[in-house]
Structure 1
Amino acid sequence: MKRIVPVLVVVACIFALWYAGSFLMNRAWVMDQAARAGTEPGFSEVLRDTMNQDRAKLPAPHQVAAELYDGILDKKVTSKRSLVYHGFITFQATMAGFALGIVAGVALAVAIVLSRVADRTLMPWAIISQTIPVVALAPMIVVLTNAMGAGSLMVPKAIIAGYLSFFPVLVSMVAGLRSPDRMQLDLLRTYGASPRQVFWKLRMPASLPYFFASLKIAVAASLVGAIVGELPTGAIAGLGARMLIGSQFGNPMIMWSALFAAAILAAGLIWIVGGIEKLANRMMGGQRA
């Protein structure tokens, strides 16, 4: 109970600020309509109208919740207006990019830790790669994949998602593989352990906490990459495409519901990664989190 109360207080403050922002941002339209009609509405009337506008600048929380309910539970999952349908399209690209990011991040981390040449050459370029805005890089990736004959929209989205997700894995794995201290390394060498045995029996187990911590960041970054990748690809399905459609047709409800659907998907993916981490920790005899 002591843990829940602070969370509820923060959530209540967020909702209070959200409702206040909805009132202030949507009030101008209500007053403008009243001025054209030659009337002067009271506070209760203004409050009611600002909380129920169809194309509000800032939809109220209950409007977004209703749109979410409609898009998730009231629509068939095969419907093109279902957020479950669009979420699954984005989920597929997210998982493909996530897997690509893990493979690239772990492979580069191993090379950097085991090779001084790779450390001096690969790590600087990995850092520089993260200074390139993904919004500028995404159209280039789309053009290149199309030129190479990649017919599926999944390919550029997966590459963009992998681009955003590999760096957290790389940095954390490098730190984890280098976490054993000199005394531990000297002890294994005293027992005659080969470099391969040192790597598999000491460095890899020591890197697992770092690895799982990075996965929680990487899976969220992969989801962002998949959503961003849907914008320049001309995709008509996916949460990113849904946000773009809402923007093009001036319907903020579509944008906000897709945004919150993406947040729910991200929370679910992070929760799954956390569950896998606890399971792996238990199998290796570690303490339960």
Structure 2
Amino acid sequence: MRAALLPVLTVVAALLLLWYAGAVWMNAQWTRDQAARAGTEVTLPLLLQDTLSQERPLLPAPHQVAAELYDTVIAKAVTSKRSLVYHAWITLSATLLGFAIGTALGILLAVGIVHNRAMDMSVLPWAIASQTIPILALAPMIIVVMNSVGVQGLLPKAVISAYLSFFPVVVGMVSGLRAPDAMQMDLLKTYGASRSQVFWRLRLPSSLPYLFASLKVGIAAALVGAIVGELPTGAVRGLGARLLSGSYYGQTVQIWAALLMAAVCAAVLVGVVGLLQKVVLGRMGFGR
């Protein structure tokens, strides 16, 4: 156990050391400017103390971000609009809805692409081309169009999440459905299996490892889509709203706390998909 933890702790310690060094370097100019105005000399202890405790630093120190996370995650009630848990749940609601829509759409498209040559030649290239459009340019258009027809709130953000999450699912599912080799396909045809029986007994089980791998990418992309969907709307709720308000008022500590909260949410979501993958594939005999 110790041998496994040592490399992880070493990397974390190195990252924290680099973070502190970066905070001192990036915040030092403000300290020097203030000292020059006051006509005082900047000593090393003063430099370290000031650069690591500024109210609005260019790069907040790790302990400042940790204090902000404690204040907004643990000290505040989860129903408070100053709680990061409250804002994270708003973002996660759009993420999960968009992920469900994107996954369902991706699986349906993949099945159609594999079984229909016309869809393979037409839909797949368009799906690939759709991912070349920058989401920052597309998100305001989606929100404006949906607002114009009276659709507001959770659904526009979910649509943006679905847009980002469906493509990995399509690609992974198509690869998985085409994974069975010719010998396996010929064997089922020899036994007189119908097209639906080939799908349910061979193609679908073979595609599950590919599907779960793509779901991990898709759910992380869905979270990014939900956060991006909160930015152009001037939202007051969600992690994107916390990032936006922090940038408006120069609250870099708030921005970094929201970013780390988003990273934790992404890690939890991917971990849940990974756990589901382990259970499902284990029961089906994969990896034994």
Decide: shared fold, TM above 0.5. Answer: yes
- d(CA) in 2 for partners of 1:196, 1:91: 36
Between the two proteins, the alignment pairs up a number of residues equal to 287
Residue in structure 1 matched with residue 138 of structure 2 by the alignment:
137
1:201-240 → structure 2 map (5 Å cutoff): 201-240=201-240
* Cα distance between partner residues in 1 of 2:280 and 2:13: 36
Q: Could you state the TM-score of these two structures normalised by the residue count of structure 1?
A: 0.97
CA distance in 1, matches of 2:5, 2:117: 48
Cα deviation digits, residues 220-240 of structure 1 (max 9, x gap): 000000000001122110000
CA offsets 1:196-222 (integer angstroms, 9 cap, x no match): 110110000000000011111111000
Residue aligning to 1:41 = 42
1:85-100 equivalent positions in 2, closer than 5 A: 85-100=86-101
1: CA distance, partners of 2:30 / 2:150: 49
Q: Deviations over 1:121-152 (max 9, x none)?
A: 000000000000000000100111012221x3
Residue 21 of structure 1: CA displacement? 0.6
Distance 2:175 2:102 in 1: 17
Structure 2 residue 90 is the aligned partner of structure 1 residue 83: no
- Partner Cα separation in structure 2 for residue 191 and residue 271 of structure 1: 40
Deviations 1:100-140 (A, max 9, x none): 11011101100000000000000000000000000000010
Describe how 1:232-251 pairs up with structure 2 within 5 A: 232-251=232-251
* Alpha-carbon separation, structure 1, partners of 2:22 and 2:223: 28
Q: Does 1:192 align with 2:192?
A: yes
Root-mean-square deviation (CA), in Å? 1.0
1:201 partner letter: R
**Which residue in 2 is equivalent to 1:108?**
109
Residue 128 of structure 1 corresponds to 129
Shift of 1:4: 2.3
| Native 8 Å contact 1:153 1:233 kept in 2 | no
Q: Which ranges of structure 2 fall in alignment gaps of 5 or more residues?
A: none
Asked if 1:5 is matched to 2:27, the reply is: no
Report the Cα offset of residue 279 of structure 1: 1.3
Correspondence list, 1:24-39, <5 A: 24-39=25-40
Partner in structure 2 of residue 68 of structure 1: 69
1:250-270 deviation line (CA, Å, top 9, x unaligned) = 111111111100001111111
Unaligned runs of 5+ in 1: none
- Equivalent pair of 1:93/1:154 in contact (CA under 8 Å): yes
Distance (whole Å) between structure 1 residues aligned to residue 207 and residue 285 of structure 2: 15
TM-score of the superposed pair, with normalisation by structure 2:
0.98
Instruction: Give the aligned partner of residue 162 of structure 2.
Output: 162
Report the residue type matching 1:129 in the other structure: S
Asked whether the equivalents of residues 68 and 257 of structure 1 are also in contact (C-alpha less than 8 Å), the reply is: yes
How far has the Cα of 1:2 moved from its partner?
A: 3.2
Deviates more, 1:275-284 or 1:225-234: 275-284
Deviating more after overlay: 8-17 vs 35-44: 8-17
Percent of aligned positions that are identical = 59
